[in-house]
A = this chain, B = another copy of it.
Amino acid sequence: MIKTVPVVENILGANDQLAETNRRLLDATGTFAVNFMASPGAGKTAVILRTASDLKDRYRIAGINGDIASTIDADQIASIGIPAVQINTGGACHLDGVMLSGALPKLDLGRIDLLIVENVGNLICPASFRIGSHLDVLIASVPEGDDKPYKYPNMYRGVQAVLLNKIDLLPYLDFDMGYFRKGVEALNPGLAFFPISAKTGEGFDAYIRWLTEQADSYLK
């Protein structure tokens, strides 16, 4: 097993180079790319659908959806009139620079302001693979429990914002918001944090305002 370490390091090095190439391509076309990561079932697709609906009059949007199987997510994005490309990773537990570089040419990037990337449902592996996005956002969810920052620190360290989804379920669950926030703050001090519900829309105003500021400051 020890012999695999140098190989993994080489893969990560090669991946970083490809992520850099992806970033240059996005910058050349003026496309702001946001990479949403989350555990399976945290509500990535629901959050992305509402985000795209809220912003589709402001930006020209496209989606890239990573999954190990199925096209369920891309189909849903496409159903609201957003161009979407599905990446089936064939079992791999994350998106990486190579996969994104394969998907980008399938979109007319010159006509896209905001690219929403949905990573594979996984709280561990996507944290290790940059893809070239300008913003990395973690979607946590109330039913996962308040201890997740303590158990999956790398994911919480590597993002620029945490959305805590499914707050409509707070009355039915034992979720200690103070304990959760304390864990996030210890790992990533001052991190942007938005409690939201993709189901009811609660909290979306503040989150969308923040996302718009990030995108506008890039696109101006």
Query: Which residues of A line the B interface, CB within 8 A?
Result: 1, 4, 7, 11, 14, 39-41, 67-70, 72, 91, 93, 98, 120-125, 128, 141, 143-145, 147-148, 150-154, 166, 168-169, 172-173
Q: Are B172 and A40 in contact (CB under 8 A)?
A: no
Q: Are A151 and B69 in contact (CB under 8 A)?
A: yes
- Beyond contacts A7-B7, A39-B41, A93-B124: 8 other A-B pairs, Cβ-Cβ < 8 A, are A4-B11, A40-B152, A67-B151, A70-B151, A93-B125, A121-B123, A122-B124, A143-B169
Min distance, Cβ A66 to any Cβ of chain B, angstroms: 11
Of B14, B68, B169, B173, the residue contacting A152 (CB under 8 A) is B68
B-chain residues with CB within 8 Å of residue A151 when the two chains form the complex:
40, 67-70, 72, 121
Q: CA separation between A200 and B94, bound complex, in Å?
A: 35
Look across to chain B and name the residue whose beta carbon is closest to the beta carbon of A67: B151
Q: CA separation between A210 and B68, bound complex, in Å?
A: 31
Q: Are A72 and B41 in contact (CB under 8 A)?
A: no
Look across to chain B and name the residue whose beta carbon is closest to the beta carbon of A39: B40
Q: Are A1 and B152 in contact (CB under 8 A)?
A: no
